[in-house]
Chains A and B, each alone.
Chain A
């Protein structure tokens, strides 16, 4: 699904990622954890194509194609989905409009015709119910005036409708209370499938109580300093990040 090899990324002259290696197979959930400033967000941004970063070395291939060479919208149409840490408010564009634009872009990309208006509504309303959202939500402007929880739920709704292959969740738990966290996690869990992979970038372990990862990687100073199973997250919760950073510094 995704193969990252020796990836080096800088912002301006400043190296942020210093040789990331990561293999993600279909159906796997990988959690990327790490302290602030470790490069977690940079990793999710570079995978989704945000500008402002320079790849100085290494590669990332997605389904055998050079991911870093694709425009952000091509990545999205190919099935890469970034759930934003801070979803952007877009007054004047309704949720339903954006969903239709996005879905039809994907269909066009794959040589399919525009989705039928009725089928579309049936699809969207079904997903809205699944996420325990109000239908009125669809006709509101994208994220405008939404609470933190609503914004994150909206990201999951988009994900549910666009059916991506690789989902990158950037700090999805930040700003969520426990109820919202449950709903969002249930949404993500319902999307788990043998051919869909997830990369969850998170600072805290608590999201992993709800979404069980197959692998946990710890990012520090732009490198993966430790990888393991779900138990690694618990260890981090207990000890914090400093022991790993110290270990890396003394290595």
Chain B
């Protein structure tokens, strides 16, 4: 029997499911059916789930978000899109969850590198075989209701395949654009970087005005000794709900870095999980900004499964007005994962009395020879720093603004792709007290 908050979705999505199911190969049909069963049983996550206790999802009950339909991408102002789409990257654009060939820029990809629509690739037997091998291998449909919902109902997404030893000169950007209100956009990305390859990827989520739901699941497979960096830039419209999970599997000696900029949406939840193999390394960076009534929930999990893994994590939150930020970071060190070296940090800056930060770092260690540390702070601006700036001629209000910006800018400065750095910087500045922060001087 369907639980309360999924039944109206099951009904409204019945036709969509039948249509997708019919188009799917048998393996995918089976995956979708299994996911549907899971979603029917659990629905969307509830506050009583420990992993979701800080995030209220009643908005999904109050409004029924219908499946997004493929719309004509000419509705998008190309000039506007240039604010987000990088000129010096290969980019694939999804409009309301559907691939747009005319907005994408994929000319000149090296031979063997694949960046394409997931739906189109599933229709091609050769690539479908590769996708079948990876689909739902980095995440299980019982992970949470959104993964089940996404697996059952995704219509399109992105398939990226970087062959062995390929080092890409330019980044690959996946641009998710939402143009419709009152719909749910479901996208699935599968990214495979074979052994010894190197690639930088960017996932950008942006929307026009309006309330919509974006549900995006990405699975990333980092091959042996490969190096993958994935930047996520979430600047959804201010009424949007964003649910996104990035689930990673790292092979031996693989390196993975994830930089997460959670700036937009009314309610946003991001999950980033990775499984580390022997001597593999991951670096998670995050910045969440909250103004007005924004709610940003950031959930990470790092599973050290084998020895000699290294993980570094730093998430920072800046919360103003009545905004609420959540950080739940979990590091699990398996019994076999000796010599693990792990550091997790979460720092929150509260700018108003009504803002709230909930932070829950968790270390679960089953091995006995490891180096693991975690630290958390929730606080206000440092008075010593304010005085230091005052003694350097800066008035107090400007000093406060500078320090607030600087707190966030530490994360922006980690972005090494210049054009992306500038986009993120612009988006951060948009959401900040600007007096005292002179963009031209940065």
Q: Which residues of A contact B (CB under 8 A)?
A: 48-51, 71-73, 75-77, 81-82, 84, 87-88, 90-94, 96-98, 100-103, 105-106, 109, 141, 158, 162
Query: Is B441 within 8 A of A105, CB to CB?
Result: no
Assembled-state Cα–Cα distance A98/B407 (Å): 15
Query: Is B441 within 8 A of A92, CB to CB?
Result: no
> With A93-B402, A101-B402 as given contacts, are A82 and B391 in contact (CB-CB < 8 Å)?
yes
Q: 8 A-B contacts, Cβ less than 8 Å apart? A: A49-B391, A71-B395, A73-B394, A88-B382, A100-B438, A101-B402, A102-B394, A105-B393
B228 within 8 A of A: no
In-complex Cβ contact of B393 among A77, A88, A94 (8 A): A77
Query: Is A90 within 8 A of B393, CB to CB?
Result: no
B411 nearest CB across to chain A (Å): 8
Question: Which 4 pairs show the lowest CB-CB distances between chains A and B?
Answer: A92-B406, A105-B393, A92-B409, A72-B390
> With A100-B441, A101-B438, A101-B441 as given contacts, are A76 and B402 in contact (CB-CB < 8 Å)?
no
B408 within 8 A of A: yes
Chain B residue at minimum C-beta to C-beta distance from A109: B393
B432 within 8 A of A: no
User: Chain A residues near B407 (CB, 8 Å)?
Assistant: 91-92
Point out which of A97, A98, A101, A103 has the most chain B C-beta atoms below 10 A from its C-beta.
Answer: A101
User: Chain A residues near B403 (CB, 8 Å)?
Assistant: 90, 93
Query: Is A102 within 8 A of B392, CB to CB?
Result: yes
User: Chain A residues near B392 (CB, 8 Å)?
Assistant: 76, 98, 101-102, 158, 162
User: Chain A residues near B390 (CB, 8 Å)?
Assistant: 49, 71-73, 76
Chain A residue at minimum C-beta to C-beta distance from B440: A117
Assembled-state Cα–Cα distance A88/B389 (Å): 9
B422 within 8 A of A: no
A86 nearest CB across to chain B (Å): 9
A237 nearest CB across to chain B (Å): 30
B413 within 8 A of A: yes
Point out which of B385, B387, B396 has the most chain A C-beta atoms below 10 A from its C-beta.
Answer: B387
B369 within 8 A of A: no
User: Chain A residues near B410 (CB, 8 Å)?
Assistant: 91-92, 141
Query: Is B388 within 8 A of A51, CB to CB?
Result: no
User: Chain B residues near A81 (CB, 8 Å)?
Assistant: 391
User: Chain B residues near A82 (CB, 8 Å)?
Assistant: 391
Total A-B residue contacts, Cβ distance less than 8 Å: 85
Query: Is B406 within 8 A of A90, CB to CB?
Result: yes
Assembled-state Cα–Cα distance A98/B385 (Å): 12
User: Chain B residues near A103 (CB, 8 Å)?
Assistant: 393
User: Chain A residues near B406 (CB, 8 Å)?
Assistant: 90-93, 141
Chain B binding surface, main DSSP class = helix
| Cβ contacts B365-404/A at 8 Å (1 or 0 each) | 0000000000000000011110111111111101000110
In-complex Cβ contact of A162 among B384, B387, B393 (8 A): B393
Q: A48-B391, A71-B390 provided; 19 other pairs, C-beta below 8 A? A: A49-B387, A49-B390, A72-B390, A72-B391, A76-B390, A81-B391, A87-B388, A90-B388, A91-B407, A92-B407, A92-B413, A93-B403, A97-B442, A101-B392, A101-B394, A102-B393, A141-B406, A141-B410, A162-B393
In-complex Cβ contact of A90 among B385, B395, B413, B441 (8 A): B385
A4 nearest CB across to chain B (Å): 19
Assembled-state Cα–Cα distance A141/B405 (Å): 13
Query: Is B438 within 8 A of A51, CB to CB?
Result: no
Query: Is B438 within 8 A of A72, CB to CB?
Result: no
User: Chain B residues near A97 (CB, 8 Å)?
Assistant: 438, 441-442
User: Chain B residues near A71 (CB, 8 Å)?
Assistant: 390, 395-396
Assembled-state Cα–Cα distance A71/B382 (Å): 18
A145 nearest CB across to chain B (Å): 12
Chain B residue at minimum C-beta to C-beta distance from A120: B441
> With A92-B413, A101-B441 as given contacts, are A51 and B393 in contact (CB-CB < 8 Å)?
no
User: Chain B residues near A91 (CB, 8 Å)?
Assistant: 406-407, 410
B427 nearest CB across to chain A (Å): 16
Query: Is A72 within 8 A of B442, CB to CB?
Result: no
Chain B residue at minimum C-beta to C-beta distance from A144: B410
Assembled-state Cα–Cα distance A92/B428 (Å): 13
Assembled-state Cα–Cα distance A194/B438 (Å): 36
Assembled-state Cα–Cα distance A88/B410 (Å): 16
Query: Is A88 within 8 A of B394, CB to CB?
Result: no
Chain B residue at minimum C-beta to C-beta distance from A77: B393
Point out which of A49, A75, A90, A96 has the most chain B C-beta atoms below 10 A from its C-beta.
Answer: A90
Query: Is A101 within 8 A of B393, CB to CB?
Result: yes
Assembled-state Cα–Cα distance A102/B441 (Å): 12
In-complex Cβ contact of A88 among B385, B396, B402, B442 (8 A): B385
Query: Is A88 within 8 A of B384, CB to CB?
Result: yes
| Cβ contacts B129-166/A at 8 Å (1 or 0 each) | 00000000000000000000000000000000000000
User: Chain A residues near B384 (CB, 8 Å)?
Assistant: 88
Query: Is A73 within 8 A of B388, CB to CB?
Result: no
User: Chain A residues near B405 (CB, 8 Å)?
Assistant: 92
Chain B residue at minimum C-beta to C-beta distance from A168: B391
B170 nearest CB across to chain A (Å): 25
In-complex Cβ contact of B396 among A73, A98, A101, A141 (8 A): A73
User: Chain A residues near B394 (CB, 8 Å)?
Assistant: 73, 98, 101-102, 105
Point out which of B383, B385, B388, B402 has the most chain A C-beta atoms below 10 A from its C-beta.
Answer: B388
> With A87-B388, A90-B385 as given contacts, are A73 and B395 in contact (CB-CB < 8 Å)?
yes
Query: Is B391 within 8 A of A98, CB to CB?
Result: no
Chain B residue at minimum C-beta to C-beta distance from A52: B383
Assembled-state Cα–Cα distance A88/B385 (Å): 6
